[in-house]
Amino acid sequence: MMRIVVKIGTSSVTDEHGAINNHAIETLCDQVAQLREQSHEVLVVTSGAVAGGVAALGMSQRPTDTQTLQALAAVGQSQ
């Protein structure tokens, strides 16, 4: 058994418009499931919460102030 840590950046989980790419997420989940079936321990760390919040709220651009980014990350985490 191996412990595998995977870091997925924002561009890997979003499309060209910054929205969450569901196909990419499904592919990632399938790959993690295959590794788990092989008895590996898998930890996935992703970016994309802010991008998910921007998309969920229909914003045209990403803000830069910390408080708004934190709020967007909270909204986008569930995405």
Let me know the angle formed at the C-alpha of 79 by 64 and 17, rounded to the nearest 5 degrees.
55
Q: What is the pLDDT of residues 1-53, one digit of tens each?
A: 899 999 888 888 888 877 778 999 999 999 999 999 999 999 998 878 888 89
pLDDT, position 78? 78
pLDDT at residue number 33: 97
pLDDT value of position 18? 73
User: Which residue range forms the structural domain that includes residue 17?
Assistant: 3-77
Q: Which residues pair with 46 in a beta bridge?
A: 8
Reported residue count of the chain is 79
Written as one letter, the residue type at 28 is L
Domains in the chain, number: 1
Give the confidence band of 55 by pLDDT, cuts at 50, 70, 90: confident
Confidence (pLDDT) at 10: 81
